[in-house]
Amino acid sequence: MTSPHDQIVNGLFKLLVKHGQGDYIGESISQLDHSLQAADLATIANAADTTVAAALLHDCGQIIPPVVINRQLKIHPEKDSEDQNVEYMLLPSGQSVGRHGHDTIGAAYLSSPGFPLITCQLVHDHVIAKRYLTAVEKGYYDALSEASKASLKFQGGPFTPDEIISFEKDPLFSEKVAMRRFDDAAKMVGKKVPGLEAYRTVLIRVLSVDLEKEGGGDAEGGKQGEMH
């Protein structure tokens, strides 16, 4: 019998495989490739399991089906359609550079099946860390991909001096900055990295921190079975 932990991991892998094969918001690789590269970089850096999990799943908010956002996360519970409830960051050309609030959506999605708070916080603040680094690190903005530069305009732009001071007091400041660097570097075309199954054990260890108090289920649809 499949354990609750495995059910959740299976659901996450299904989500990434099914919805992560397309172009990664204006980048030259897929969402799945980006996720795997970020997780590989975190692993190479000997990051904690909670950070490796966050690196793998940090952009899940970009690909969660809208119907799941509404029904499971209750962000727009009154809506059911596949496209009327998700706002995209659109350039004047009409090109999308991602979903508005994908960081918040992703953190809420991972919190639901029982991921620990630290993993959810790293997912939630990977955009905030970009805003911080843009403000404090010379050359950081210039090194960003064009898509990441474009999305920054929608995400609030560089931090103000007060925001910088506040963020530097965050107990997870170092982890959040490291997480952002994994994200930024995980955009290499054709790079060979381990696949999803390499992270099953890591995700199960991370889930074991908080899962027992909830019960588990399929991460793509809340309970076992796929959302339509």
pLDDT of 228: 24
Q: In whole angstroms, what is the distance from residue 200 CA to residue 45 CA?
A: 18
Is 224 a member of any domain?
no
Query: Residue 22 maps to which CATH number?
Result: 1.10.3210.10
Q: In whole angstroms, what is the distance from residue 23 CA to residue 141 CA?
A: 22
Is 27 a member of any domain?
yes
Of residues 98 and 117, the one with the higher pLDDT is 117
**Domain count along the chain:** 1
Is 66 a member of any domain?
yes
pLDDT of 154: 85
Phi, psi of 97, deg, nearest 5: -120, 30
Q: In whole angstroms, what is the distance from residue 47 CA to residue 69 CA?
A: 29
* Residue 206 tokens, joined: 């991370």
pLDDT of 91: 59
Residue 214, pLDDT > 60, answer: no
Percentage of the chain beyond pLDDT 70 is: 77
Is 54 a member of any domain?
yes
For 19-61, what is each residue's pLDDT tens digit? 898 766 666 789 999 999 999 999 999 999 999 999 999 999 9
Q: Average pLDDT, stretch 139-164?
A: 91
Domain ranges, residue 48: 4-187+195-212
Q: Mutual orientation of helices 49-57 and 31-44 as an angle, nearest 10°?
A: 160
């799941």: which residue's tokens? 68
pLDDT of 66: 82
Q: In whole angstroms, what is the distance from residue 28 CA to residue 42 CA?
A: 21
- Burial, 180: exposed, middle or buried (Cβ in 10 Å; 0-12, 13-18, 19+)? buried
